[in-house]
Amino acid sequence: QFTATHPAGTTPHDHRKACLVLRQTLDADSAYVDAATHGNGMTSLQWREAKGDVSHDVQTNVIAPRRLRIEKRGDTVMMFVANPGEPWRPAGGSTRIHLTGDFYVGLGVSSHDVDRIDTATFSNVDVGVPAALGAQPVVVSTLETISLGSKDRRVAYVSLLPDVVEA
């Protein structure tokens, strides 16, 4: 969970964000993946596959969840969302990113404006190894739209078995 604040008397940028981050290095153009909630409520999984590449994202259809989780299993990364008292649910969309050897795990905050300093308060942060998957696989179906120009994606619908989406 987190809450964000901004300096009094200033107008915050809609895309300011607080995020959970996995990074290959601390270089500005490092390979990374993060789960971010933006100031306007947009929540997305964002990543750069290799050093110096452009970033991509998949926006969930859940606006301003109060709880956010990022989970890496091998090279697959998924984002989960929930509100207080609710169970975690897949946010839809995932990505594959290969982080080699040691990598960084942390929290990030961006004002999206070099002349501003915004803050975020994170609570109940837990870092650990995901629980082993059960014998019954969990099938997540996600219907997405994809921008042909940027290849960025937007989740329209997410369902779990038995409600699968097939084409």
pLDDT digits (tens, 9 = 90+) for 140-155: 888 888 888 888 888 8
> What pLDDT score was predicted for residue 1?
46
Residue 80 three-state SS: strand
Q: Hey, how many other C-beta atoms are within 10 angstroms of the C-beta on 89? A: 15
Range picked from 8-17, 60-69, 111-120 for highest mean pLDDT: 60-69
Confidence at 67, pLDDT banded by 50, 70, 90:
very high
- Would you call 68 exposed, middle or buried from its count of C-beta atoms within 10 A (0-12, 13-18, 19+)? buried
Residue 57: beta bridge partners?
A: 46
> What pLDDT score was predicted for residue 5?
60
Ramachandran sector of residue 40 (left: φ over 0; alpha: ψ -120 to 50; beta: rest): alpha
CA–CA distances in Å: residue 44 to residues 19, 27, 154, 162, 163: 9, 22, 9, 25, 23
96: Cβ–Cβ under 8 A, 6 or more apart, which residues? 75, 76, 77
